[in-house]
Amino acid sequence: MDYHHRAIEQKWQKFWADNHTFRVANISDKPKYYVLDMFPYPSGAGLHVGHPLGYIASDIFSRYKRLKGFNVLHPMGYDSFGLPAEQYAIQTGQHPAITTEANIKRYREQLDNIGFSFDWEREVRTSDPSFYKWTQWIFMQLFNAWYNKATDKAEPIVTLIAHFASHGSHGLNAVSDDDTLAFTATEWASFSEAQQQRELLKYRLAYLRESTVNWCAALGTVLANDEVINGVSERGGYPVEQKKMMQWSMRITAYAERLLRGLEIIDWPDPLVEMQRNWIGKSVGASVRFGVPVLGDGQYIEVFTTRVDTIYGVNALVLAPEHELVETLTTAAQKAQVEAYITQTKKKSELDRMADVKAVSGAFTGSYAVHPLTGKDVPIWIADYVLAGYGTGAVMAVPSGDQRDYLFSVHFGLPIIPISDAQQLDGQADPTKEGRYINSDIINGLTYHEAVQALVAKLESIGAGKATINYRMRDAIFGRQRYWGEPVPVYFRGELPQLIEVDELPLLLPEVDKYLPTETGEPPLGRAKDWKYRGTFEFELSTMPGWAGSSWYWYRYMDALNAGEFASKEAISYWRDVDLYIGGSEHATGHLLYSRFWNKFLKDMGYVPEEEPFKKLINQGMIQGRSNFVYRVLDEQGRGTNTFVSYGLKDQYHTVALHVDVNIVSNDVLDLEKFREFRPDFADAEFILENGKYICGHEVEKMSKSKYNVVNPDDIIEQYGADTLRMYEMFLGPLEQSKPWNTNGIEGVYKFLRKFWKLFHNAEGDFAVSDEAPSKAEWKALHKIIRKVEEDIERFSFNTSVSSFMICVNELTDLKCNKRAILQDLCIVLHPYAPHITEELWAMLGNAPGTLSYATYPAFNPEYLVESEFSYPISVNGKTRMNLTLPLDMEQLDVEQTVLTNEDIQRYLEGKPVKKVIFVKGRIVNVVV
RNA sequence: GCCUAGGUGGUGGAACUGGUAGACACGCAGGACUUAAAAUCCUGUUCGCCCUAAAGCGAGUGCGGGUUCGAUUCCCGCCCUAGGUACCA
Angstrom CA distances, A810 to A727, A754, A764, A823, stand at: 17, 12, 20, 13
- Our measurement of CA A907 to C1' B68, in angstroms, reads 25
Half-sphere exposure of A888 (CA within 13 A, CB side): 7
Residue A786: is its pLDDT beyond 60?
yes
Residue from A401, A459, A463 nearest A451 by CA:
A459
pLDDT, greater one: A498 or A430? A498
Is residue A792 within a helix (H) or strand (E), and if so which, with residue range?
helix A776-794
- Locate all alpha helices (DSSP H) within A178-234, ordered by sequence: 185-190, 193-201
Residue A344: is its pLDDT beyond 90?
no
A619 sits within 7 Å of strand B by its CB? no
- Our measurement of CA A788 to C1' B24, in angstroms, reads 14
Least confident window among A111-120, A365-374, A632-641 = A632-641
- Looking across all nucleic acid strands, the nucleotide with the smallest C1' to CA distance from residue A354 is B86
Across the strands, what pairs with A491? A498, A539
DSSP for A892-921? HHHHHHHHHH-HHHHHHHTTPPP-EEEEET
Distance CA A347, CA A384 (A): 12
Distance CA A721, CA A663 (A): 16
- List the single protein residue with the shortest CA to C1' distance from B21: A880
The pLDDT, as a whole number, for residue A378 is: 94
Residue A221's pLDDT band (boundaries 50, 70, 90)?
low
Average pLDDT, whole number, for chain A?
89
Residue A748: is its pLDDT beyond 60?
yes
Q: What's the average model confidence in pLDDT over A365-376?
A: 92
- Our measurement of CA A928 to C1' B64, in angstroms, reads 27
The pLDDT, as a whole number, for residue A351 is: 47
A794 sits within 7 Å of strand B by its CB? no
Residue from A691, A688, A696, A693 nearest A658 by CA:
A696
User: Rg for chain A (alpha carbons), in Å?
Assistant: 35
Beta-carbon count within 10 A of A601 CB = 27
- Our measurement of CA A844 to C1' B23, in angstroms, reads 33
A391 sits within 7 Å of strand B by its CB? yes
| CATH number, domain A867-928, options 1.10.10.10, 3.30.450.20, 3.10.20.590, 3.30.43.10 | 3.10.20.590
Residue A760: is its pLDDT beyond 70?
yes
Q: Cβ contacts of residue A338 below 8 Å, gap of 6+?
A: A326, A330, A363, A364, A365, A366, A382
The pLDDT, as a whole number, for residue A689 is: 83
pLDDT, greater one: A241 or A683? A683
Quick check: A240 and A270 in contact, CB under 8 A? no
A907 sits within 7 Å of strand B by its CB? no
Q: What's the average model confidence in pLDDT over A782-800?
A: 93
- Our measurement of CA A519 to C1' B43, in angstroms, reads 78
Distance CA A240, CA A66 (A): 50
- Looking across all nucleic acid strands, the nucleotide with the smallest C1' to CA distance from residue A277 is B3
Residue from A213, A204, A206, A151 nearest A180 by CA:
A204
Quick check: A203 and A160 in contact, CB under 8 A? yes
Residue A898 identity (one-letter amino acid): T
- Chain centroid, CA A710 distance in Å: 23
Q: Cβ contacts of residue A96 below 8 Å, gap of 6+?
A: A85, A86, A88, A89, A127, A483, A484, A515
Residue A615 identity (one-letter amino acid): K
A402 sits within 7 Å of strand B by its CB? yes
- Looking across all nucleic acid strands, the nucleotide with the smallest C1' to CA distance from residue A920 is B19
A233 sits within 7 Å of strand B by its CB? no
Distance CA A754, CA A837 (A): 10
A353 sits within 7 Å of strand B by its CB? yes
- Which homologous superfamily does the CATH classification assign to the domain defined by A282-471? Valyl/Leucyl/Isoleucyl-tRNA synthetase, editing domain (3.90.740.10)
Q: Give just the sign of the alpha carbon dihedral A411, A417, A420, A423.
A: positive
Query: What's the pLDDT tens digit per position in A636-664?
Result: 888 888 899 888 778 788 888 888 888 88
| Complex prediction ipTM | 0.93
Q: Cβ contacts of residue A892 below 8 Å, gap of 6+?
A: A917, A919
The pLDDT, as a whole number, for residue A220 is: 66
Q: What are phi and psi of A63, to 5 degrees?
A: -65, -40
Q: Cβ contacts of residue A518 below 8 Å, gap of 6+?
A: A524, A526, A527
Residue from A145, A165, A143, A167 nearest A155 by CA:
A145
In chain A, residues 802 through 821 whose Cβ sits under 7 angstroms from any atom of nucleic acid strand B: 802-803, 806-807, 810
Determine if the peptide bond prior to A506 is cis (ω within 30°): yes
- Our measurement of CA A773 to C1' B40, in angstroms, reads 29
- Our measurement of CA A456 to C1' B45, in angstroms, reads 72
Phi-psi region of A576 (alpha: psi -120 to 50; beta: other; left: phi over 0): left
The pLDDT, as a whole number, for residue A668 is: 79
A791 sits within 7 Å of strand B by its CB? yes
Q: What's the average model confidence in pLDDT over A93-113?
A: 95
In chain A, residues 6 through 25 whose Cβ sits under 7 angstroms from any atom of nucleic acid strand B: none
Distance CA A668, CA A660 (A): 11
Nucleotides, chain B, CB distance < 7 Å:
3-5, 11-16, 19-21, 23-29, 40-41, 69-71, 82-89
Quick check: A623 and A49 in contact, CB under 8 A? yes
A349 sits within 7 Å of strand B by its CB? no
Is there a common fold for A282-471 and A867-928?
A: no
Distance CA A57, CA A60 (A): 5
Query: What's the pLDDT tens digit per position in A28-79?
Result: 999 999 999 999 999 888 898 989 999 999 999 999 999 999 999 999 999 9
- Our measurement of CA A858 to C1' B22, in angstroms, reads 32
In chain A, residues 739 through 778 whose Cβ sits under 7 angstroms from any atom of nucleic acid strand B: 739, 742, 744-745, 747-749, 751-752, 754-755
Q: What are phi and psi of A745, to 5 degrees?
A: 105, -15
Q: Cβ contacts of residue A480 below 8 Å, gap of 6+?
A: A221, A222, A523, A542, A543, A544, A545, A546
Residue A84: is its pLDDT beyond 90?
no
3-class secondary structure, A676: helix
- Our measurement of CA A463 to C1' B87, in angstroms, reads 30
Beta-carbon count within 10 A of A91 CB = 9
Q: Give just the sign of the alpha carbon dihedral A770, A772, A775, A779.
A: positive
Helix axes A835-844, A746-759, angle to 10 degrees: 10
- Our measurement of CA A365 to C1' B88, in angstroms, reads 24
- Chain centroid, CA A63 distance in Å: 24
In chain A, residues 486 through 515 whose Cβ sits under 7 angstroms from any atom of nucleic acid strand B: none
A539 sits within 7 Å of strand B by its CB? no
- Our measurement of CA A13 to C1' B5, in angstroms, reads 38
In chain A, residues 665 through 724 whose Cβ sits under 7 angstroms from any atom of nucleic acid strand B: 667, 669, 691
Quick check: A213 and A477 in contact, CB under 8 A? yes
Residue A912: is its pLDDT beyond 80?
no
Cα first-last separation, chain A: 62
Query: What's the pLDDT tens digit per position in A152-205?
Result: 999 999 999 999 999 999 999 999 988 899 999 999 999 999 999 999 999 999
Our CA angle for A892, A898, A900, nearest 5°, is: 95
Least confident window among A117-126, A148-157, A185-194, A215-224 = A215-224
Distance CA A316, CA A186 (A): 45
- Looking across all nucleic acid strands, the nucleotide with the smallest C1' to CA distance from residue A621 is B83
In chain A, residues 316 through 335 whose Cβ sits under 7 angstroms from any atom of nucleic acid strand B: 320
A202 sits within 7 Å of strand B by its CB? no
Phi-psi region of A710 (alpha: psi -120 to 50; beta: other; left: phi over 0): beta
A873 sits within 7 Å of strand B by its CB? yes
Q: Cβ contacts of residue A728 below 8 Å, gap of 6+?
A: A716, A720, A745, A746, A749
- Looking across all nucleic acid strands, the nucleotide with the smallest C1' to CA distance from residue A396 is B89
Q: Cβ contacts of residue A900 below 8 Å, gap of 6+?
A: A906, A909, A914, A917, A927
Domain limits, chain A = 282-471, 623-710, 867-928
Distance CA A3, CA A723 (A): 12
Quick check: A576 and A599 in contact, CB under 8 A? no
**Residues composing chain A:** 929
Beta-carbon count within 10 A of A929 CB = 14
The pLDDT, as a whole number, for residue A472 is: 86
Q: What's the average model confidence in pLDDT over A746-762?
A: 93
